[in-house]
């Protein structure tokens, strides 16, 4: 009797993590940043999703699957 999982939405309800214009912010450890500067790939330690309209960060994840999905 539970509802299907719904994506979290921002304050203005316009944006979810799957929206085309969502802003993804990646946080890196110091070593991760150094790898990026050297042109390597780096897995963020945390991923945040921000709405471009209301600037609300509506979801933050440090799950491994999310960090790998948003690896640069």
50-54, long-range: CB within 8 Å, 24+ apart, which pairs?
Answer: 50/10, 50/22, 50/23, 50/24, 50/25, 51/10, 51/11, 51/12, 51/14, 51/15, 51/22, 51/23, 52/15, 52/21, 52/22, 52/23, 53/10, 53/12, 53/14, 53/15, 54/10, 54/11, 54/12, 54/14
Site string for Zn ion, 6-45 (x = CB under 5 A): ----x-x-xx------------------------------
Does position 51 interact with Zn ion (CB under 5 A)? The reply is yes
Given candidates 40, 53, 63, 68, which one binds Zn ion under the rule CB under 5 A? 53
List residues near Zn ion by CB under 5 A.
10, 12, 14-15, 51, 53-54
């Amino acid at each position: 009797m539970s509802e299907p999982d719904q994506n979290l939405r921002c304050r203005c309800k316009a944006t979810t993590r799957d929206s085309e214009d969502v802003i993804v912010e990646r946080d890196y450890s110091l070593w991760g940043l150094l790898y990026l500067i050297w042109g390597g790939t780096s897995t963020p330690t945390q991923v945040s999703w921000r709405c471009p309209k209301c600037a609300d960060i509506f979801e933050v994840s440090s799950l491994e699957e999310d960090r790998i999905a948003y690896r640069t």
